[in-house]
Structure 1
Amino acid sequence: MPIGPITRMRACLDTLDGVFLRMASWFMQLTPENIQVEELTTGKIAAKLGISGASVVRFCYKLGYPNFASFKMALMVELLDPAASAAAESRLNYPPAASKVIERTLPSMSLTLKTINPALFNRAVEAMCRASMVIWYGFPGDSAHLAMSGEHKMTRSSLRARATTDIRELEALTRIISPGDVVIAISQSGRWEGAARAMEEFRKRHGTIICITGQADSVMARAADIILLTAARDISLGGEPLALRAAQLMLIDMLVLEVASRLQSVSLEWIEPKAAPAK
């Protein structure tokens, strides 16, 4: 994901003066709401700022663009895609591998919010509110940690929950559930057939199955009543795939805190971040 022109302006703002500083100040106040594409020509920008068209082109060169057309396209992408803009800006301050994580994680969270059907999310929350017990299942690995996070946050919220990473324990729990209880199965690939079979048994006992996965057409997703599709991004680590799972962790927080809020099981306060004291 390339770094956009607004981000580049902010990074070099203290080195700009004169005409270039005037242009940077004007571009940086543009927003998706006030931008007028038809006004973004070298002639109209020059007339608006009282400068020459050649100065506008030189400004594009200074920011690393070969021409005004490339600058304009990059500007539109940055202004109209906040997640891309945030990821690009964050990359300026971190080393390469950390920047790549940011580059993939922030857009995946934004895409997840667009991918999940709000009606399905609400159905999942309603099922969790009705349940006497919510069982979190995650296959050993990152999914297991996510399942334990779900259990931990529900327990903190005074809600009954159990996490397991063992398929035999999931099968045993299936035999003692009450009708209306919920199992939340987490798997990026959704390919674990043993988990899918346990989920089918859960349904026979009138439980509700929620699957958090990155693959809608997977055996675990097909076994679920409610599919919450996330957009985790994969990388290769040691030649093996590894998913960056921040989007799924965000979804778990959304589910648990929405349930806690509706049931008023515990006091919930949204604490605003405080500015760090000046040194």
Structure 2
Amino acid sequence: MAETGLLGRVRTELPTLPDALQRVAEQILGEPEETARTTIVDLAERAGTSTATITRFCRLFGYRGYAELRVAVATETGRAAQARWDTDIDHDITPDAPLDRVLDVVASADARAIQDTAGRVDLAAVERVSAAVATAQRVELFGLGSSGNAAREMAFRLERIRVPCWHRSDPHTALTNAALLGPGDVAIGLSHSGRTREVIEVLSEAADHGALTVAITSFPRSPLSEIADVVMTTAVQETTFRLAALSALHSQLLVLDLIYVAVAQRTYERTTEAFEVTARAVDAHRLPRKRTRTPEGS
């Protein structure tokens, strides 16, 4: 598994872990450099738990044991230092913070979230989803709130390259359309928490009729993930005024954009022709470019 983004995954999933595993996660996140140097016994003592719990924590995140997890943490913290990445960035924005400070915090948080998301992307899953979307008779996307915005943007992009795609903002309409899907069709549900009831219901309905179901969420062990054929996880970085659900948009768009480009690659001739046709259709609505005035006599 990819080692990049482990700390982001731990940070994202921390609220869903049992108490003992939460203490391990908090210890690792609080002192990642020290974790890379300490023994399993020392970490267990600091977290107030047992070595068996540490081993269970490692396996939960896909590592065979503590040695592998230590290497992953060391690699990630070393990479961050080399890139001058501030792993202890203060995400607090006070009411009187100057705009240059706000810009630094927001830009750093978004960049870290995108980097962590890229580190956990399952490329085999992208291949599977893009292949299905490229040949599907129907593709349905559904999400609410900020996730709905990401779904709407993806639908716009796929429509532009002649993929029969729909985004439904109304849960009842989404459910009825999910019921019309079948084998060979694709349903993509977006929910940061993976616990949005309406998104779960839509994906479950699509699954009942044989469609390929795809969950895009920050929590790979959420109820949404449990019912999906393919799960693609995103990372978030909270800041003041931008809670997790509001910070997931950029990461969701990264995953969706990767799928979109992979679909465009698979349908290159169709996509290129669609771009040319649609560009001509709206060309008359664009103002002409201003000509650069040249000096007299030149």
TM-score, normalised relative to structure 2:
0.57
- Tell me the equivalent position of 2:177: 173
**1:83 to partner: Cα distance:** 6.3
Q: Are residues 1:208 and 2:188 paired? A: no
Residues 128 and 77 of structure 1, relative CA distance in 2, 3 Å threshold = closer
**1:77 to partner: Cα distance:** 5.7
Alpha-carbon separation, structure 2, partners of 1:167 and 1:153? 22
- Secondary structure at the residue paired with 2:239? strand
Q: Which has the higher contact order (CA 8 A, sep 6+)?
A: 2
Alpha-carbon separation, structure 2, partners of 1:197 and 1:116? 25
Q: Which runs of 5+ in 1 are unaligned?
A: 1-75, 88-93, 270-279
- Tell me the equivalent position of 2:164: 160
Q: Which runs of 5+ in 2 are unaligned?
A: 1-77, 90-98, 276-298
CA RMSD of aligned residues (A): 3.0
- Tell me the equivalent position of 2:133: 128
Of 80, 102, 123, 2:82 maps to 80
Query: 1:61-81 CA deviation, whole Å, 9 max, x = no partner?
Result: xxxxxxxxxxxxxxx766633
Query: 1:213-268 CA deviation, whole Å, 9 max, x = no partner?
Result: 11111111111110000112223429896324212112111111210220122119
- Tell me the equivalent position of 1:64: none
Query: 1:99-145 CA deviation, whole Å, 9 max, x = no partner?
Result: 11111111211111111221112111122123111111011x21111
AA aligned opposite 2:220: A
Residues 83 and 145 of structure 1, relative CA distance in 2, 3 Å threshold = farther
Alpha-carbon separation, structure 2, partners of 1:193 and 1:156? 30
Q: Percent identity?
A: 20
Alpha-carbon separation, structure 1, partners of 2:80 and 2:117? 19
Runs of 4+ in 1 over 4 A off after TM superposition: 76-79, 82-85, 238-241
- Tell me the equivalent position of 2:228: 224
Which of the pair has more CA radius of gyration? 1
Of 121, 128, 135, 1:116 maps to 121
Residues 121 and 240 of structure 1, relative CA distance in 2, 3 Å threshold = closer
Cα contact 1:235–1:241 (8 A) shared by 2: no
- Tell me the equivalent position of 1:63: none
Alpha-carbon separation, structure 2, partners of 1:248 and 1:260? 18
Number of residue pairs aligned between Structure 1 and Structure 2: 189
- Secondary structure at the residue paired with 2:137? coil
- Tell me the equivalent position of 2:200: 196
AA aligned opposite 1:209: T
- Secondary structure at the residue paired with 2:252? helix
AA aligned opposite 2:176: A
Q: Are residues 1:258 and 2:262 paired? A: yes
Of 109, 112, 119, 1:107 maps to 112
Residues 177 and 238 of structure 1, relative CA distance in 2, 3 Å threshold = closer
Residues 159 and 234 of structure 1, relative CA distance in 2, 3 Å threshold = same
Alpha-carbon separation, structure 2, partners of 1:99 and 1:223? 39
